[in-house]
Amino acid sequence: MTSQRPVSPFESIYFVEAAGLPLCDMPAYVESLVEGRLRPDLMSRALRQLIDRHPMLRTEVVAGDTGPLLRVRDHVEPPLTVLDGIEDSFAGLINSRPDWTESMLHAWLLTDGLRSQVVLGVHHGLADGRSAFALLDEFWRLYTGLAAGADLASERRETLPEAIDSRLAGAFPADELDALIDTLVQGADEFKPATLPTEGVGRADRAIADRRFVVDRLEFDTATTDAVTAAARARGVTVNSLVTGLVLSAVRAQLAPEHGPLPMVCGHGVDLRTRLTPQVPLTTVLNCITGLQTPLSVSPEDRVEDIGQEVSAQFADALRRRAPERLLLAALRAGARGTALPAPVVSYGISNVGRIPAHPVPAGTRLLRFGGTANAPGMPPKIGAASFGGHLLVQNEYDSWTYGTDQMDRLRETLRSSLEALALPR
């Protein structure tokens, strides 16, 4: 039984303050909006069940002989905060940082008349977005069972899952990783992608200065979602590839709309749990997400499906070559030996959450929407494309102290009009 273990080098970027890395104590939020009133007492019972089932959520960070440790505590009471209002309360909430010494899982119930919003916040060092969504689904299954009068047996677990970089240790020879490090250092100046301007952007750019992190949602009904899916298939690409092409084309138009190809880099999140044999289940609360950058050139006349297909082809080739694993282990090895690697620069991030089925809700309650967000100071903006319960969601997340709201509003409206145009009969 492993009730404590070291914070791994990969996990440490979320637990230890480091120069140039804004990720320390970063939260990941997942949320559901429903029509109906919820019972805080049943929510607290469901949260205690989650805490019992997932020992990572009961951990605390303590000092060890060779560095910080994650140690499972005997008892943790996950805080549940009830707030009036939904939109404004949620905007303030995602700009907050929970007290992780109290619990690695926090919950909120936001209410407005007959509408209720459940928000779960989990320390990003412990969970990535995919396992956080699985946690949200598990919460609702527990809550729905309790609301129906079920007597749910407690399932207390104690063993901590092994960190993703520990699982990958030894997957590649050390000399191969050293050669990759040398290549990355030598090629630092070879490709300079275009990025959205940040000059002149700051607190004065926001009407409410403490609402730094912004989430812009574009959600489409099932008819529009089906039409966009059909349009993607007709062009021989996936919906995510189509959205990727639309995003990069729209960003490029803001950078240099008048002429020529422009170097750009598309940033991706890669779930390494699917790269292992056997795979780590989504129900395992663990951070398994790393990044991957795809370089390409984009011209004003390029078709969006061609841009998306190029990104998709490069991404598939990178997965075939196991580039995400190699790059992660090389970066950790470089850090251990004191070698500075060039910081990744992306023109825009793309997060393909995929299709997530609607989770259960109690009788008399109607699920309106669900989603999630995670952000930190200075992070590049990112688009999340997902299908939640058959509804296409295209979500833009950005740091408004770094990127101006005017340019982001233009991007949102370009995406909206482009997707709606794709849904029109041809």
Query: For position 155, what pLDDT does the model report?
Result: 86
| 194-198-201 Cα angle (round to 5) | 165
Q: Which of 117, 147, 177 is the last residue of a domain?
A: 147
Residue 362 falls within a domain, yes or no?
Answer: no
Task: Give pLDDT tens digits for 302-315.
Answer: 999 999 999 999 99
Task: Give pLDDT tens digits for 292-301.
Answer: 999 999 999 9
pLDDT-derived band at 208 (thresholds 50, 70, 90) equals low
- 354 pLDDT higher than 90: no
Residue 155 falls within a domain, yes or no?
Answer: no
Beta carbons within 8 Å of 390's beta carbon, 6+ residues apart: 222, 225, 358
Helices and strands per DSSP (H, E), number in the chain: 11, 14
Task: Give pLDDT tens digits for 213-267.
Answer: 999 999 999 999 999 999 999 999 999 999 999 999 999 999 877 788 999 999 9
Q: Which of 147, 172, 202 is the last residue of a domain?
A: 147
Average confidence (pLDDT) over 66-71: 94
Residue 370 falls within a domain, yes or no?
Answer: no
Torsion of CA 352, 355, 361, 365, to 10 degrees: 90
Query: For position 121, what pLDDT does the model report?
Result: 98
Query: For position 22, what pLDDT does the model report?
Result: 82
Distance (Å) of CA 237 to CA 142, 202, 318, 386: 38, 38, 18, 15
User: What CATH number is given to the structural domain containing 186?
Assistant: 3.30.559.30
pLDDT-derived band at 69 (thresholds 50, 70, 90) equals very high
Query: For position 340, what pLDDT does the model report?
Result: 87
Q: Looking at the structure, tell me whether residues 141 and 170 fall in a common domain.
A: no
Query: For position 336, what pLDDT does the model report?
Result: 92
Query: For position 186, what pLDDT does the model report?
Result: 85
> Which of 136, 120, 165 lies closest to 280, judged by CA?
165
Average confidence (pLDDT) over 209-214: 83
Q: Looking at the structure, tell me whether residues 310 and 177 fall in a common domain.
A: yes
Question: What is the spatial order of strands in the sheet that 4-6 belongs to?
Answer: 4-6, 68-72, 59-63
**Buried b / exposed e along 364-392 (16+ C-beta atoms within 10 A):** ebebbbbbbbbbbeebbbbbbbbbbeebb
Residue 117 DSSP class: E
Query: For position 44, what pLDDT does the model report?
Result: 97
Q: Looking at the structure, tell me whether residues 11 and 94 fall in a common domain.
A: yes
User: What CATH number is given to the structural domain containing 103?
Assistant: 3.30.559.10
Q: Looking at the structure, tell me whether residues 143 and 171 fall in a common domain.
A: no
Q: CA 330 from chain center: how many Å?
A: 23
Calculate helix-pair angle for 405-422, 222-234, nearest 10 degrees.
Answer: 80
Q: Looking at the structure, tell me whether residues 189 and 78 fall in a common domain.
A: no
What six digits make up the tokens of 120?
Answer: 């779960």
Residue 361 falls within a domain, yes or no?
Answer: no
What is the distance between the alpha carbons of residues 383 and 215, in angstroms, rounded to a whole number?
10
Task: Give pLDDT tens digits for 98-153.
Answer: 999 999 999 999 999 999 999 999 999 999 999 999 999 999 999 999 999 998 88
Query: For position 1, what pLDDT does the model report?
Result: 53
Amino acid in the structure at residue 82 = V
For 44-100, give the DSSP string.
Answer: HHHHHHHHHH-GGGGEEEEE-SSSEEEEE-S-----EEEEE-SHHHHHHHTT----T
Amino acid in the structure at residue 357 = P
Tokens 């995400």 correspond to what residue? 324
What is the distance between the alpha carbons of residues 16 and 414, in angstroms, rounded to a whole number?
39
Task: Give pLDDT tens digits for 82-93.
Answer: 999 999 999 999
Are 117 and 371 a contacting pair, CB within 8 Å? no
- 200 pLDDT higher than 80: no
> Which of 154, 157, 147, 116 lies closest to 33, judged by CA?
116
Average confidence (pLDDT) over 62-77: 94
Q: Looking at the structure, tell me whether residues 265 and 136 fall in a common domain.
A: no
pLDDT-derived band at 353 (thresholds 50, 70, 90) equals confident
- 206 pLDDT higher than 60: no
pLDDT-derived band at 165 (thresholds 50, 70, 90) equals very high
- 205 pLDDT higher than 70: no
Average confidence (pLDDT) over 362-386: 92
Beta carbons within 8 Å of 278's beta carbon, 6+ residues apart: none
Q: What is the mean pLDDT of the chain?
A: 92
Instruction: Say if residue 9 is preceded by a cis peptide, omega within 30 of 0.
Output: no
What is the distance between the alpha carbons of residues 215 and 322, in angstroms, rounded to a whole number?
32
Beta strand pairing call for 366-373 and 348-356: unpaired
Q: Looking at the structure, tell me whether residues 186 and 331 fall in a common domain.
A: yes
Q: Looking at the structure, tell me whether residues 178 and 285 fall in a common domain.
A: yes
Are 341 and 184 a contacting pair, CB within 8 Å? yes
Residue 365 falls within a domain, yes or no?
Answer: no
Tokens 């190809």 correspond to what residue? 261
Number of domains into which the chain is organized: 2
Query: For position 153, what pLDDT does the model report?
Result: 81
Domain carrying residue 48:
4-147
Query: For position 343, what pLDDT does the model report?
Result: 84
